[in-house]
Chain A
């Protein structure tokens, strides 16, 4: 197999792999929303409640404390 053919196969399978990853990501987004694991839509509120005095949608320090 010459290098050009190898590149072409490599390119094709890599693209196919990335397509699978993208579709898996779609599935992940919608299924975790449905199962209630994570509410992605609440992040839309980050733009609306963006005063410096507003409570963050997910506070960084609070989450870190939970992890500990």
Chain B
């Protein structure tokens, strides 16, 4: 045993890869059910009226968002951290029993929190704050999980061999710090049972903020959860996986540093765009708009850097479905970081606010950018952690095209639906009477809701293909040698 050469230890990474796939399927399945419920309301009671409490839109909606954000995405972030972290710091988890213990504890507690979240949300126990629905006992557990991850993260950095922190590590550190700050402040809450001397349920709480302040803190959190959950860690992934898979170093390392600080500087101020035309002070709304537009620069800085990394190597995009996933992810990142600022312009927002266009924007970002990048990351990791080639290249290609079609159907239908909705809501006659009632818009939107449901279903089908491909890779693919794992991932036909 003593003479065995040192190797990276991917135990914890593997566990998180598993939860990424499982929770991804769960979250996306619920999303698809919700989409069909929107198109055909009868689906709300599909399991019978006795179970309608558990299958209706309002009960399932937070379960969908939280499963894809805190289940699929967060698992993906942790899985890639436990993979990339060791490699770019050139230190193995096996070198520290304590870090290994922290990693395993991190995963175990994370899994317990997932169970608590799913259970409580299904039972309808919620604080009713969007993306922050968990009640205070779960919040405390979440903080614990986060602190343990942080200890592991900084612990690994502390024993590294590589002096300079690769750009991805900067992004993981920012994810840790950003989410810690946001989560703590937005979830400041008072347990009512203890504050009132025994009234109500023990787990119930109310926010420490109220009215406009509550809205402001909530959207400072909500928008930056997108920043530090859907942007920063996913950029960390692409900065590692695209260069590694293509064998090309980042086009400009200086630009990556610059885009990092630009993103950190600008993102935190943009959340006000969620509260345009509300009771929030006007200057704050303007600030939200302006910073959202400025945000195009650092976002595109990273995305263009990724596309330029492929300079002279574009044949790889045609040849490798894995590179295709990453290039499309990067393109969708550019696309949604242009779309978001456009929606944040006050005059555009007057039309877009509360419409399906916003839902479309979120999904071209999450399905096209976050989803594609996380799946690409897992595809790249699989041969290295399981020492087997990716089971099927053609299945991967099929998945890519099915999902791309799904995303395109999703966002185009939501664009049309959203703009139609916005136009109908504001239409009026010469006396100022509204031209349409709400139900008129619902009737008009029905075809687009159906197209959206089809698009979502296609994406879910792709996710199932992904899960099958990963399962076969893990269990029955051809074994590979270390020498085959340098850059492009080995794939079976």
User: Which residues of A are interface residues toward B (Cβ below 8 A)?
Assistant: 8, 18, 22, 25-26, 29-30, 33, 40-48, 50-54, 56-61, 63
Contacts and interface: CB of A to CB of B under 8 A. Distances in A.
Nearest to A62: B163
Contacts of A53: 5
B165 to A, nearest CB: 9
Contacts of A61: 161
A43 B166 contact: yes
B49 interface: no
Contact of A40 (B7, B162, B254, B487): B254
Interface string B342-372: 0000000000000000000000000000000
Given A47-B88, A50-B88, A56 B249 contact: no
Interface of B: 5-8, 87-88, 90-92, 160-164, 166-168, 239-240, 243-244, 247, 249-250, 252-254, 257-258, 261-262, 265, 283, 487
B254 A30 contact: yes
A59 B163 CA distance: 6
17 contacts: A22-B261, A29-B258, A30-B254, A40-B253, A41-B249, A43-B164, A45-B249, A46-B88, A46-B162, A47-B168, A47-B250, A48-B243, A48-B247, A48-B249, A52-B90, A58-B162, A63-B163
Given A22-B265, A47-B88, A58 B164 contact: yes
A51 B161 CA distance: 12
Nearest to A25: B261
Point out which of B8, B244, B249, B261 has the most chain A C-beta atoms below 10 A from its C-beta: B249
Nearest to B91: A52
Q: Which 5 pairs from chain A and chain B are nearest by CB?
A: A44-B249, A50-B87, A58-B163, A46-B166, A44-B250
Nearest to B251: A44
A61 B405 CA distance: 51
B244 A22 contact: no
Contacts of B5: 53
B164 A46 contact: yes
B116 to A, nearest CB: 36
B257 A40 contact: yes
